[in-house]
Amino acid sequence: MIELACPECRKIGPGLRDCCVAYAEEWDKDIPDLVPHSLLHDAPYLFEIARYEAIAQAGPENYAGYAKSKPQERALVMRGLLEEAGAAEFANVGPGFGALEDATGGFERVAVDSCRCFLCRLKERHPEVRCARGLAERLPLATSSVPCLVADSVFQSVVDRERFLYEIGRVCAADAKLFLTVAYDWNYPRRPQNGFNVDRPDELEALRRFLAELGFAVDFRYLNLGEGWVGEKDEGQLLYVTGERA
């Protein structure tokens, strides 16, 4: 079972309420806040959190890019991949408006997002989903507790991609499944990123090698939501990085 944990001191379970990140008087047992307070004063993280809080508060009907990103179609594709991999439980990093949770009834799910408003919306529709507010670069998940990790259209917008990958390596179990997607047609970063520019073949191979060092053997595939799996990046809208830890 996936365990929530303090991203700093690694406490799990009841001890989280008094860990070095959370404060008992502010504790919300339904959506614990496990964002390291030191990073809340870091400008790039502040920018990302504020941007997504504004999107979440506006709602999907008022966010022009949401319909274009075809979240329901993507969620069904991801559900198919999860079923094919035999996954019964997964951690979803960056659930956004919760399309994947809508499509994955019957799975055990943990959702982690830096945006509290997204999680509140998700929890209203799916109270059975365990939620925690946290950062992709400091995941509030216990080491080696995650059997399957999903991050749909998140990788291109995190502040520190390399740190996110290290965190994936830390929290994933020995035989974990991994599903990352990168969107080409929408939600591209609004500032320079550190490394792994997946528009470039050499950077894509660098990503493969980096994940291999973390124990993951991965494949790269491109998806066009109107046509299905395609052979070339220029024909697709999404890159799927899928694999398993050996």
Q: How many Cβ atoms sit within 10 Å of the Cβ of residue 183?
A: 21
* pLDDT score, position 6: 93
Q: Where are the domains of the chain?
A: 13-245
Q: Is the pTM here over 0.85, yes or no? A: yes
Fold for the domain defined by 13-245: Rossmann fold (3.40.50)
* pLDDT score, position 188: 52
On the question of pLDDT at 215 being above 80, the answer is yes
Q: How many Cβ atoms sit within 10 Å of the Cβ of residue 226?
A: 8
Distance, CA of 132 to CA of 46 (rounded, Å): 18
On the question of pLDDT at 210 being above 90, the answer is yes
From 167, 146, 149, select the one nearest 210 (Cα to Cα).
167
* pLDDT score, position 192: 47
User: Regarding predicted confidence, which is higher, 242 or 49?
Assistant: 242
Cβ proximity of 54 and 64 under 8 Å? no
Cβ proximity of 19 and 11 under 8 Å? yes
* pLDDT score, position 169: 97
If you average pLDDT over residues 205-220, what whole number do you get? Answer: 95
Q: How confident is the model at residue 194 (pLDDT cuts 50, 70, 90)?
A: low
Cβ proximity of 238 and 183 under 8 Å? yes
User: Regarding predicted confidence, which is higher, 38 or 182?
Assistant: 182
User: Regarding predicted confidence, which is higher, 104 or 51?
Assistant: 104
Q: How confident is the model at residue 51 (pLDDT cuts 50, 70, 90)?
A: confident
Q: How confident is the model at residue 185 (pLDDT cuts 50, 70, 90)?
A: low
Length of the chain: 246
pLDDT in tens, 113-130: 999 999 999 999 999 999
Distance, CA of 227 to CA of 161 (rounded, Å): 29
* pLDDT score, position 158: 87
If you average pLDDT over residues 220-226, what whole number do you get? Answer: 92
On the question of pLDDT at 64 being above 70, the answer is yes
pLDDT in tens, 65-75: 787 788 999 99
- 3-class DSSP assignment, residue 171: helix
Contacts 24+ apart (CB under 8 A), 5-13: 5/140, 5/141, 5/142, 5/143, 5/145, 6/34, 6/140, 7/34, 7/36, 7/134, 7/135, 7/138, 7/139, 7/140, 8/36, 8/138, 10/142, 10/143, 12/142
